[in-house]
Amino acid sequence: MNKGERISRFVEELAGINPASHAAADGEIAQHPCYRGFFRCWNEQRYYEAHDVLEHLWLDTKSEDANYFKGLIQAAGGFVHLQKQFEHPTHPKHGRRLGPAVRLFALAEANLEPFGASRHGFNIDGLRALMARTAREIVDSQFMRNPWSPEHAPTLSLERS
């Protein structure tokens, strides 16, 4: 089973819908199982899986949404770094993840900025503010303090449709 098949199966388990059978037409992005799966995984603090699920949709996207998805994927990647650093602060690799998290937040900001305040039922400005605040806390601590913890992990939500 290749990665695409594995992610399709994972999304199907999350949403009960096969993502391959759900076309991502312009008006339907907010209902796409991969898009919704991203938010579900994020809120369950499964940032790596959130990244993988949305990447599955991103790889098939030819519209301007490609950069929007890329920004969301990068944001999740930043939180993967924070989570790993929190779980293993003295590990030789994981202990040095605060800098890469800040860099991914900057890349995510650059990709999300052109889309304005919201897109496909999601408050982009809220995520951008979260990333900026988190990066600022890391930088202000001179990359010594991780502001993320499981007890205070941020959640993301889609507008009700």
Q: What is the pLDDT of residues 96-113, one digit of tens each?
A: 999 999 999 999 999 999
Specify the pTM: 0.87
The shares of helix, strand and coil residues in the chain, as percent rounded to the nearest 5, are 70, 5, 30
Contact predicate 97/79, CB 8 Å: no
Cα distance between the two ends of the chain: 34
CATH topology of domain 3-152: Hyaluronidase domain-like (1.10.3450)
Render pLDDT for 56-81 as a digit per residue (tens, 0 to 9): 899 989 999 999 999 999 999 999 99
CA atoms of 156 and 24, how far apart (whole Å):
21
Q: Which residues pair with 123 in a beta bridge?
A: 118
- Domains of the chain, residue spans: 3-152
